[in-house]
């Protein structure tokens, strides 16, 4: 079995039973399930995310001439939400996104403001800026009528949609710019049962913290909203909700997610499988290295992206990763550690955005937290973890792990499962990861250079909260956003006034009598 247990207040916030649980892999299936659940909503939809893009299609390539999806409703997110509330007079939809996302996230600010100010009153858009300067609201949660919940790493925004095939040049991955987005791998959990109410309570608490509005729970009783076409991976399983939250004026930082990671690593007997956008959390790396040094410790396989999406981010996040990997190679005497990135059939790197962990066949965790410093102790994060209670649960976890590796290596999941059973996790990857177009490759190590060394040493883009920042807790990202808004408004007014004066001057000049050519230039 496992020594891992749920300890509320330590490695989780609360835990409860999920009647059914499925891991949804990649955004094509996620958007289908999310859309169908929201169509059934009657009272309340809570959407807590890093970003929402109201212009993207949820089902790319499936719109008719009028922009409708096969279900008869608008395909684009914004019109889809408006159609939902038109159909359901009691329905309220609450969307909470990170305030900083209006500046750096894929969604543009104008469509968001249109939703906030011009959409029906049943659609409520809030911006979460109640966090220390530099921190980010990063949770990704959806709860429908307190009956069905989603929690994971998938944002409803541009550039996230992809299939498990990650086809080269897939036109359905087209961005609003027309460019084809890079292949994208992601994951989220879907579950029902009493665990949904725990998730809903967290979502409503986030809304209250960000907007000072206390949302009531739906009046209607919970009901069966599970999509008929989705076969649950597990049934009757206990799941825990863990958080990372920065400190507030009256509460310390919450590090339940980091504690859950450390407890899970300590509990591993045979294998640890991780997928993450980054690998730059020193505490997690040290815990893994300690297990690698043991003569009978677990195999560890980490799936990462090859590179970040921007040059600065790549230096800031992957120079520290390279430092950790050099240290890891010195602390891995039994060669049981691998960090790899996937490629598609055209050898294009697939961007790994999933945040999940599987320990042996006993534990599965998925959520929004990355293996970096800020996810462990600065940003707001939400993860769900389940612990197998019987043979059926353990078999399901083995199938999920095999399915993920099969996707990355272009193999049959049953063959992957048999190889893991015979050879162990690292041995199975070594044996099967060849002679296919889809495969895993070794993550390269970055040369540091001046800027890379400076970014890595300062942790300017990957900070962790430190107690000496208590004095700054009164200034939040919200204050900065308000200040930026005031400056932008002021700049807009100045520009408008200049244009108005310029227009008035032009009109006045157009009515000036023509100059007498017989006079000097000074009028004499």
Strand 337-343 relative to strand 439-442: parallel, antiparallel, unpaired?
A: antiparallel
DSSP string computed for 435-457: SSSSEEEEPPPPP-HHHHHHHHH
What is the pTM (predicted TM-score) of this model?
A: 0.87
Name the helix (H) or strand (E) containing 484.
Answer: helix 477-510
Q: Which of 219, 218, 223, 217 is nearest to 201 (CA)?
A: 217
**Position 3 confidence tier, pLDDT thresholds 50, 70, 90:** confident
Q: What percent of the chain has pLDDT over 90?
A: 73
pLDDT tens-digit profile of 349-376?
999 999 999 999 999 999 999 999 999 9
Judged by phi (left if over 0) then psi (alpha if -120 to 50, else beta), residue 478 lies in: alpha
Which of 308, 270, 208 lies closest to 1, judged by CA?
A: 270
Looking at residue 503, what is its pLDDT?
55
Characterize the bridge pairing of strands 299-303 and 337-343: parallel
Give the residue-averaged pLDDT of 64-85.
96
pLDDT attached to residue 119: 65
516 — pLDDT class (breaks 50, 70, 90): very low
Region 216-231: what's the mean pLDDT?
90
Say yes or no to pLDDT of 312 above 50.
Answer: yes
pLDDT score, position 107: 55
Specify the pLDDT at position 496: 53
SS3 label, residue 39: helix
Mean pLDDT confidence for 430-451 = 90
Beta bridge partners of 78: none
Question: What pLDDT, in 10s, does the model give residues 190-213?
Answer: 999 999 999 999 999 999 999 999
CATH superfamily ID and name for 238-467: Endonuclease Chain A (3.30.870.10)
CB 78 within 8 A of CB 119: yes
Give the Cα separation of 405 and 402 in Å (integer): 5
Per-residue pLDDT tens for 452-462?
899 889 888 89
Determine the Cα–Cα distance for residues 200 and 215; give it in Å rounded to an integer: 10
Provide the pLDDT for residue 318: 92
Bridge partners of 14, per DSSP, are 241
pLDDT at residue 266 in the model: 97
**Residue 152, pLDDT score:** 98
* Rounded Cα distance, 185 and 348, in Å: 13
Q: Which residues pair with 46 in a beta bridge?
A: 94, 143
pLDDT at 248: 76
Instruction: Give me the numbers of helices (H) and strands (E) for the chain, helices first please.
Output: 13, 18
pLDDT tens digits, one per residue of 165-199: 999 999 999 998 899 999 999 999 999 999 999 99
pLDDT value, residue 115: 60
CATH architecture of the domain formed by 18-236 = 2-Layer Sandwich (3.30)
Statement: residue 520 has pLDDT above 70: no
* Domain ranges across the chain: 18-236, 238-467
Regarding beta strands 141-144 and 44-49, do their DSSP bridges make them parallel or antiparallel, or are they unpaired? antiparallel
User: What does pLDDT average to over the chain?
Assistant: 88
The per-residue pLDDT for 105 is 53
Q: Which of 423, 393, 381 is nearest to 141 (CA)?
A: 381
Q: Terminal CA-to-CA distance of the chain, rounded, Å?
A: 104
Say which residue, 16 or 133, is predicted with more confidence.
Answer: 16
CB 58 within 8 A of CB 75: yes
User: What does the pLDDT look like over 260-299, one tens digit per residue?
Assistant: 999 999 999 999 999 999 999 999 999 999 999 999 999 9
CA nearest to 365, candidates 401, 331, 327: 401
Question: What pLDDT shows up at residue 399?
Answer: 98
Rounded Cα gap, residues 117 and 101, in angstroms: 18
CA distances from 335 to 164, 275, 289, 306, 444 (A): 30, 19, 11, 21, 17
Output phi, psi for 329, to 5 deg: -65, -30
Place 103 in a pLDDT band, splitting at 50, 70 and 90.
low
pLDDT band at residue 494 using 50, 70 and 90 as cut-offs: low
pLDDT tier at 473 (50, 70, 90 boundaries)? Answer: very low
Contact of 240 with 363, CB cutoff 8 Å: no
In terms of Cα–Cα distance, which of 435, 339, 396, 395 is closest to 189? 396
Instruction: Tell me what the mean pLDDT of segment 331-360 comes to.
Output: 97
- Look at residue 219 in the predicted model and tell me its pLDDT: 82
pLDDT tier for residue 112 given thresholds of 50, 70 and 90: low
Q: β-strand 439-442 against 141-144: which pairing, if any? A: unpaired
Q: Over 90: is that where the pLDDT of 334 sits?
A: yes
E strands along 246-378, which residues? 254-255, 271-275, 299-303, 337-343, 351-352, 356-359, 363-367
Would strands 234-245 and 271-275 be described as parallel, antiparallel, or unpaired? unpaired
Helices 77-87 and 27-39 sit at what angle, rounded to 10 degrees?
20
- Would you state the pLDDT for residue 99? 79
pLDDT of residue 466: 67
The DSSP H or E segment spanning 189 is strand 187-191
Taking phi first (over 0 means left), then psi (-120 to 50 degrees means alpha), and beta for anything else, what does residue 184 get?
Answer: beta
């Amino acid at each position: 079995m496992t020594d891992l247990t749920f300890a509320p207040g330590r490695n989780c916030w609360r835990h409860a039973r999920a009647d059914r649980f499925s891991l949804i892999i990649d955004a094509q299936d996620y958007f289908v399930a999310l859309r169908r659940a929201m169509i059934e909503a009657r009272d309340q939809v809570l959407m807590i995310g890093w970003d929402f893009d109201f212009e993207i299609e949820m089902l790319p390539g499936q719109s008719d001439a009028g922009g409708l999806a096969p279900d008869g409703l608008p395909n684009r997110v914004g019109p889809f939400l408006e159609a939902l509330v038109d159909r359901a007079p009691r329905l309220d939809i609450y969307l909470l996104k990170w305030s900083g996302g209006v500046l750096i996230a894929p969604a543009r600010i104008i469509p968001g403001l249109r939703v906030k100010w011009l959409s029906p009153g049943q659609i409520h858009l809030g911006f979460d800026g109640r966090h220390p300067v530099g921190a980010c609201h990063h949770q990704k949660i959806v709860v429908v009528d307190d009956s069905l919940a989603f929690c994971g790493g998938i944002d409803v925004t541009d550039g996230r949609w992809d299939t498990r095939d990650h086809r080269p040049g897939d036109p359905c991955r087209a961005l609003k710019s027309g460019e084809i987005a890079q292949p994208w791998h992601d994951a989220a959990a879907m579950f029902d049962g009493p665990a949904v109410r725990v998730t809903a309570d967290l979502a409503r608490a986030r809304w209250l913290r960000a907007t000072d509005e206390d949302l009531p729970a739906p009046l209607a009783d919970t009901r069966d909203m599970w999509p008929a076409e989705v076969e649950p991976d597990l049934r009757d399983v206990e799941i825990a909700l863990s958080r990372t939250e920065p400190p507030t004026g009256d509460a310390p930082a919450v590090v339940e997610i980091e504690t859950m990671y450390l407890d899970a690593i300590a509990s591993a007997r045979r294998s640890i499988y991780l997928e993450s956008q980054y690998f730059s959390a020193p505490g997690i790396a040290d815990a893994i290295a300690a297990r690698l040094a043991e003569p009978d410790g677990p195999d560890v396989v980490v799936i990462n992206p090859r590179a970040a999406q921007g040059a600065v981010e790549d230096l800031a996040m992957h120079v520290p990763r390279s430092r950790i990997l050099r240290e890891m190679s010195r602390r891995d005497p039994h060669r049981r550690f691998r960090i790899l990135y996937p490629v598609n059939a055209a050898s294009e790197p697939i961007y790994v955005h999933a945040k999940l962990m599987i320990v042996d066949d006993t534990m599965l965790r998925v959520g929004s937290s990355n293996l970096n410093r800020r996810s462990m102790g600065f940003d707001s994060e939400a993860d769900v973890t389940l612990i197998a209670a019987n043979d059926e649960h353990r078999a399901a976890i083995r199938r999920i792990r095999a399915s993920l590796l099969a996707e990355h290596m272009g193999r049959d999941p049953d063959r992957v499962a048999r190889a893991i059973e015979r050879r162990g996790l690292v041995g199975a990857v070594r044996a099967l990861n060849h002679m296919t177009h889809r495969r895993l490759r070794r993550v390269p190590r970055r040369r540091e250079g001046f800027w890379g060394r400076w970014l890595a040493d300062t942790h300017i883009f990957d900070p962790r909260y430190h107690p000496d920042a208590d004095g700054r807790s009164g200034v939040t990202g919200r204050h900065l956003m308000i200040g930026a808004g005031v400056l932008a408004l002021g700049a807009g007014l100045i520009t408008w006034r200049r244009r108005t004066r310029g227009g008035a001057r032009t009109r006045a000049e157009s009515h000036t009598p023509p100059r007498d050519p017989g006079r000097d230039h000074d009028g004499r």
